[in-house]
Structure 1
Amino acid sequence: MDISFKMGDEKFNYRVGAIIISNGRILAMSHDKPSEYYSLPGGRVMMEETAEQAMIREVREELGVSLKISRPLWLNQSFFTKDTDGLRYHEICIYFLMDTADAGLLERQNTFTRTEGTDTHIFKWLEIAQLKDETFYPLFLKKEIFNLPDTFTIRTESR
């Protein structure tokens, strides 16, 4: 069971996100069709699962590869209202820098599609320098991707 619950018009999510970087590019995903926005591979943490276990599981489910975690980068506390459902979200997400060695991920095309159950994910290697021009979530990453923290950092964003 995912650690996610709704109370009235508010929703809480506990998530993990994979930061996969190679040759000045970051791996981003959209859902079902080329979307108006991109996000990172990842998803909700399940009950009795560590964040690290969730990250490995989500990468395996979404990308079909086993990646190792290099290190955690951020715990981001995010407060936002989602356009699609009108709910006010309180989301905790731990972002992990992933090690792509020996995964075969870098040999894939610039854009590729993967199916997870009934969901279709479209993955694209986005140039980090062009990230500012894309609709990309989390928003803070558009700036912070150029300054990865040396130590695990807690941050907050509200939109």
Structure 2
Amino acid sequence: MDISYNCENQKFNYRVCAMIIAENKILAMHDERSPYFYLPGGRVKMGETAEQAVVREVQEELGVTPKITRPLWLNQAFFTEDVDNLHYHELCIYFLVDISETTLLERGNVFTLTEGKHIHTFEWLEFDRLKDEYFYPLFLKKAIYDLPDEFTLRTELE
């Protein structure tokens, strides 16, 4: 069971995101439901650690097993989602992950994979391109240039 619930027009999520970086590019994705780019990852399941969740989500979405380099942020985000118009309270742990021992880079700059009934389009976005893209989380458009050395708590109010 995912750690997520709705309460009237609000939603709580406990999520993880994988920051997959290579050659000053970050791997982002979108699908048929979301017009914007976002990072691979998803909800943590009850009884699952955040580390287990980020590895599982990358395996499910990309078909490769990453190695966790380190956690970067615990982001407390408060926002209204563009697709479902719900007010979110989201806790998300962002992990820097290593995919150098996988075949992920061989798939090209843009590639598509299917997960269940969803089609995910992945694209390697140059850091400088983020500022002009429809991309979430917003804070990453600047923070990508200065990743923390220690696990950092941050709050994002949109």
User: Does the alignment reach a TM-score above 0.5?
Assistant: yes
Is residue 22 of structure 2 the alignment partner of residue 22 of structure 1?
yes
Give the whole-Å Cα distance in 2 for the aligned partners of 1:52 and 1:153: 16
- Shifted more, 42-51 versus 127-136: the winner is 127-136
Give the whole-Å Cα distance in 1 for the aligned partners of 2:128 and 2:83: 29
What residue number does 1:32 align with?
32
Give the whole-Å Cα distance in 2 for the aligned partners of 1:67 and 1:103: 8
Give the whole-Å Cα distance in 2 for the aligned partners of 1:56 and 1:83: 27
What residue number does 1:11 align with?
11
Give the whole-Å Cα distance in 2 for the aligned partners of 1:29 and 1:86: 20
Deviations, residues 95-147 of structure 1 (Å, cap 9, x unaligned): 00001121111111110001000011000001111111111100000000000
Give the paired residue count. 158
**Dislocated runs of 4+, deviation >2 Å:** 83-86
Q: RMSD over aligned Cα, in angstroms?
A: 1.1
What residue number does 1:155 align with?
154
Q: Structure 2: give runs of 5+ residues left out of the alignment.
A: none
Give the whole-Å Cα distance in 2 for the aligned partners of 1:101 and 1:84: 33
Is residue 55 of structure 2 the alignment partner of residue 56 of structure 1?
yes
Match runs of 1:77-116 below 5 Å: 77-116=76-115
Match runs of 1:128-143 below 5 Å: 128-143=127-142
- Structure 1 length-normalised TM: 0.96
